[in-house]
Each structure stands twice: as structure tokens, then as C-alpha cells.
Structure 1
Amino acid sequence: MKFIEEVVVEEFLPTYRSLLAADLRDRGLTQSEVADLLGISQSAVSKYATGAVEVNGRVAGDERVRELVAGVGQGLASGELSRVGALAEAEVLVRQLEQDDLLAKLHEAAFPPLAEYEGGFDVHDPDSGLRASERVLSSVRQGLRTLEESPAFAALVPAVGSNLVEALPEATHVEDVAAVPGRILDVKGRAAVPADPEFGVSVYVASVLLAARRAGHEARAACNVRYTPAIVEALAGLGRDPVEFDAVGEAAGAGGAGQGDADDIDTAVADALAGAPDADVLYQTGGFGVEPIVYVLGPDAATVAGRVRDLAEHVR
């Protein structure tokens, strides 16, 4: 793990100080004067100004950095810019370069896992897409551990397999929903999770979750299990609120096709929730070529997994 602040200290700061020290010396300031302005020792100024300190070529060659050095150097040398003002100007550029810019790219190079995240981000933004995505993935992983550790869960896995999914806060498409690639399977009485969760790998369960959200439901997560009347009854006994929906829409979702299929799912789920807006379990009893399925909904994957675990223990 490497923090972007480390990149600033190791790559930006020595380069910036070297350029600024050399600029100030070129403007006729003494080594002592430069040391006072930069708040460093005279020996450090000597090393910076003479090139004895290694610099980062990408930082040194960035036009914005060079413009900052020239502007700050001129302001400090003339007395028009205070040391606090010089610091503020540098901090502004650092923050800019951290936001999917030069320092962010250097951060990715120093910490390769960041490069796997698609899309720009501000690592300091508490509401960044990166942070939201990682929180969702973490929640799904936590939920999967709960299911894997439950000896009774495998008996609830339907023939099509189960999945545990969680959507981003503003999710609108299956690409915004994290799930298990390939689904969770019952392998000799144990739940087998084939891979780490990813976004955009579930259509079957994610489509139902998104349909519920489009109908006004606040659920962010879902897990599908096999259907029997006893399972629905058990969920009601555990305090859940089940409601049935039309299997036709769900069958289209299993195929993962186009907008017409999504509209079918939306209609079926919306019709069901219209009469039971507080329902936290959706189920369909099957049809031609369609396996009956129960969907347990909840605020996050970890919570949903806990509810499914409790169900498994109750009906085992």
C-alpha cells in the first residue's frame, strides 16, 4: 500500500524544491536567503540548486509546475509574494495534480492496483467513485464469507445458482452492480464461490434489484435462493415481508438481453411492489422453462447474507 502523500514527498517535493531553489539562485538571491525563504538548511539549498538531489522528470517537465516555479520565484524574489502565499500556490497545484492528473498517474505507477480502477477519481474525496466501489466490493466479500461459512446455505442454492449482489448508491445499470462472476454453486453440499466479486457480471439477480430500485425501493443488495412455499413461510416467520411477482419478467432477465426484457422485469416488479412497498422479499413461482426463485433484499450485501444465513439455519 502506498499513499499519494508519499508520492508527493518522494517525487513532487524534491523536484519542486530543486527547480525553485535554482530559480531563486538564478535571480541573484544568496544561498542563505533561499534557505530562509524555503525553510530549509543552506546545505540543502546547495544540493537542490546544484542538481545533487534526484528529480522526477515527469514533474520537472510539466508546464504547470514550471509556470508555478517561475511565478513563485519571481514573487518571492521581489517580495510581492509571502512564504505563506508561496505555500498556498504550491498546495493548489498539488491538489490539482492529485485529481486524475500527473500525481494520480505517478500514484498508479507506484501502487498498480489503482490502475485497475476504471475512471478518474480524487483519492481525497470521501464521496469518490473509487471509494464507493471499494466499499460495495468489501460489503459483498463480507457477505460471501458469511454464506461460505454457513453449513446450511448450500441447500438453498437453486439449480441456476445463487448470487449475492450490491449496487452503487446511484446505480442504473447492471455495470453498477457488484456480484460473483459465474454465480455461487452447491458443490457436494458446500457453497462454492468461483471468483472475487466484480462489477457488471450479474444480469439475473442485478436486474431484479435494479427493477425494485426503479420502483422506489431503497434496497441496495439482493441474494437469490430456491423457492418453496415453506421457504417463503419461513422468511415471513423471520420478520421478512414477501411479495410475489410475475415470473415472465424475471425469465427475460435471466437471458440477459435487451431493453424490452428490462422493461418486462421493471413492470413485473413494480406491479408487485405497488401493493407492498415495504416488501423485502420478492419471489416468483416459476413457469415454462423458468425455475421458481426467491430474492432476499436489503440495504447491503452483508446484511442480506446474514438474513439468508438465518433462513438457511431455520429451514435446515
Structure 2
Amino acid sequence: MSLVLPSELVVDRFLPTVRAMLATRLADRGLTQQEIATELGVTQAAVSKYVAGEGGGDDRFRDDPETVATVDRIADGLAGGEMDGYDALAELLSLVRSLEDRGPICELHEEVMPELRGLGCDLCVRGLDPDVRAERDVLANVRTAARTLASTPGMAAAIPNVGTNVGMCLPDPNDETDVAAVPGRIYAMGGRIEIPANPEFGASKHVATAVLSANAVDSTVRGATNIATDDDLLAAARSTGIDPLEFDAEYEDRADHLRTRFEERGAVPRLAYHRGAFGIEPATYVFGSTAADAADLVETLVSKRRRTDR
């Protein structure tokens, strides 16, 4: 029996193909060969071969729709600055896991190890902890939400002095440790949005309180972000059919107060806001099914306000 690890096929067959695909797509998007070499971690000579179509690889991956879509997404993200190396790596690792689950990598594995044929082999995916998958998905979603906020034109004006955060909870959360958010919060500095770190579980208190309160009333609501209370943004929300909910900033138990207000409303609103109090800055919470959903709504409202201001 020839012992071949799926990871060997990833290195020998998958990776050269994907690098060649990425090189040609990045070249099409205007990057120089040196810039492409830096992004891919290879030499400029290797990029030259890839772009010339001499990089080899396996057509099984070139023709795979999921691989093509992922490579296009990474190329767009790297070329446009919306992705960094960490993002691209996360996309590729996710793709590899998918291709190992009865995909092209699995097919190649059965070719080089015929003993696996007909066994319904699931060695690559057996035992995957669903809790680990859920945590990974939540962290990825919060990272996407943070990038959305950072890339929204005019967002700096919507960030309160205490900073903004964006969070998302796991299904059936128990406490703040089940809510992922950005450590240290997101700040506006010189008109730019600064994201100090990648999201972590247990990194937020205020946004986590809002997320947990909302989720306790409606389990489909798992994401939230906070922005400055602004009448123009509230008006933009109302113009889209959203009815913002006002609540009292001075309640000692914010979680209990929010749950009560949501229950009185009969639903979790897309926006809940307060006007502040002594020592408390006015704040608005934007809710969504995920952190990215909440961030998308903020982007929409900020964009509507900018158009109105012109």
C-alpha cells in the first residue's frame, strides 16, 4: 500500500496550480511581476513562468468552479487592498478543506492510493469538531464586518469618541466569552479607521451585552455594532422603513433593560439608541443576523447620509 498524505497532493498539485492562476489574474489586474511575487511568496522568475503559462499544475483544479471562484475573489481582494495575506490564506485553507471532502483533492488521493476507492473515504473530514467550525466562522464574519466599517466612506464621522466595536455570538451563547469582537475597539484617527487587532472571543463588554440581550429575545439576531447617535442617520434609517427604538442610557443593568425594551417592542429592532446621560456618550446599536449584516446596514445608512448632505 502506497502511503500518500492528502497534504502532499495539496503541495505538489494544488498549490502550483493556484499560484499560477493567481499570478495571471493579478497580472490582469495591473500588478507588476515583483508585486505578484511578494504577494505569493515566490520569486519573480517563477511569476514570469506562471504568467507565460509555463507554471504547470493540474487542470482538475483550473476547471473546478469553486477553485475558480475562490481564486477570483482572492485576486480581487489583493489587488484592491480589501484582503491581506491572512485573508487570502484563510480563503485557501477553507477551499482545501472543501476540495478534500469528495472534491478534486479526494479524487487525486484515490488515484494515487487505489486502495481507497469504493470505501467512501472521509479521512480528511472525519472528526471535524463542529464547535471549532462555528468559532472559526464567527471570527471570520467579524473580521469581514470590521473591514466593511473601515472601508465605508464617511464612517469616521459615525464613530463615537469611545470607539466602535462589532461583535457576533456563537449559537446559543451563555456569556461574553461566546461573543467575538475586536480587542481594544475600532477608532477613527485623522479620518482613517484603525482596527487594532483581529477579533477574539470575550474581547467586548458593551457590544457583547447588546448582542446577548438581542439574542435572548430573538435567536436569529447574533451580530451588532455601535455607532454615534446621529439624527441624520436615524432619519436615513426611517427612510428605509426601519423604526429605531430609543432606550434609557442610565439603567444600571443595561442587559436587563434592553431585553425588556425589546420584549415590549415584540421584536429586536435593527437600531436601538439612547441620547446619553451624565458621563455617558450617546450611542446607537445596529443589529443584524450576523456582524457582517449589521456592518452592511451601517454602510447603507452612512452612504444615505452622505448623499443627503451633498
Residue by residue over 1:93-139, the C-alpha shift from the partner in whole angstroms, topping out at 9 and shown as x without a partner, is x98xx9xxxxxxxxxxxxxxxxxxxxxxxx64566111000001111
Q: Which position in structure 2 is the counterpart of 1:34?
A: none
1:311 matched to 2:272: no
Equivalent residues of 2:214, 2:222 under 8 A apart = no
Residue by residue over 1:152-193, the C-alpha shift from the partner in whole angstroms, topping out at 9 and shown as x without a partner, is 111100111001111111212111111111001011111111
Q: Secondary structure at the match of 2:137?
A: helix
Q: Which position in structure 2 is the counterpart of 1:268?
A: 257
- Aligned mate of 2:281, from 268, 280, 291: 291
- Residues 280 and 125 (structure 1 numbering): CA distance in 2 closer, same or farther, change over 3 Å? farther
Q: Which position in structure 2 is the counterpart of 1:300?
A: 290
Q: Secondary structure at the match of 1:267?
A: helix
- Aligned 1:59-208 pairs, distance under 5 A: 124=126, 128-208=130-210
- Residues 234 and 131 (structure 1 numbering): CA distance in 2 closer, same or farther, change over 3 Å? same
- Aligned mate of 2:212, from 191, 201, 210: 210
Give the Å deviation of 1:228: 2.3
Equivalent residues of 1:217, 1:277 under 8 A apart = no
Q: Which position in structure 2 is the counterpart of 1:102?
A: none
- Residues 124 and 167 (structure 1 numbering): CA distance in 2 closer, same or farther, change over 3 Å? farther
Give the Å deviation of 1:302: 1.4
Q: Which position in structure 2 is the counterpart of 1:237?
A: 239
Equivalent residues of 1:143, 1:301 under 8 A apart = yes
Q: Secondary structure at the match of 1:295?
A: strand
Give the Å deviation of 1:233: 2.0
Give the Å deviation of 1:216: 3.5
TM-score by length of 1: 0.56
Q: Secondary structure at the match of 2:262?
A: helix
Equivalent residues of 2:172, 2:219 under 8 A apart = no
Q: Which amino acid aligns with 1:307?
A: L
Q: Which position in structure 2 is the counterpart of 1:277?
A: 266
In structure 1, C-alpha distance between the alignment counterparts of 2:288 and 2:243, rounded to whole Å: 11
Amino-acid identity (%):
36
Q: Which amino acid aligns with 1:197?
A: P
In structure 2, C-alpha distance between the alignment counterparts of 1:217 and 1:288, rounded to whole Å: 33
Q: Which position in structure 1 is the counterpart of 2:66?
A: none
Q: Secondary structure at the match of 2:265?
A: coil
Aligned residues: 194
Q: Secondary structure at the match of 1:282?
A: strand
In structure 1, C-alpha distance between the alignment counterparts of 2:242 and 2:151, rounded to whole Å: 22
Residue by residue over 1:227-274, the C-alpha shift from the partner in whole angstroms, topping out at 9 and shown as x without a partner, is 02332222122232311122124xx5xxxxxxxxxxx12321122112
Q: Secondary structure at the match of 1:201?
A: coil
1:220 matched to 2:222: yes
Equivalent residues of 1:155, 1:312 under 8 A apart = no
In structure 2, C-alpha distance between the alignment counterparts of 1:287 and 1:125, rounded to whole Å: 51
- Residues 308 and 302 (structure 1 numbering): CA distance in 2 closer, same or farther, change over 3 Å? same
- Aligned 1:18-57 pairs, distance under 5 A: none
Q: Secondary structure at the match of 1:182?
A: coil
In structure 1, C-alpha distance between the alignment counterparts of 2:128 and 2:155, rounded to whole Å: 35
In structure 2, C-alpha distance between the alignment counterparts of 1:304 and 1:238, rounded to whole Å: 15
In structure 1, C-alpha distance between the alignment counterparts of 2:138 and 2:276, rounded to whole Å: 30
Please, which runs of 5 or more residues in structure 1 have no aligned partner?
A: 10-87, 99-122, 253-263
Q: Secondary structure at the match of 1:275?
A: helix
TM-score by length of 2: 0.57
Residue by residue over 1:16-70, the C-alpha shift from the partner in whole angstroms, topping out at 9 and shown as x without a partner, is xxxxxxxxxxxxxxxxxxxxxxxxxxxxxxxxxxxxxxxxxxxxxxxxxxxxxxx
Equivalent residues of 1:162, 1:183 under 8 A apart = yes
RMSD: 2.8
Give the Å deviation of 1:150: 1.2
- Residues 136 and 124 (structure 1 numbering): CA distance in 2 closer, same or farther, change over 3 Å? farther
Give the Å deviation of 1:308: 0.6
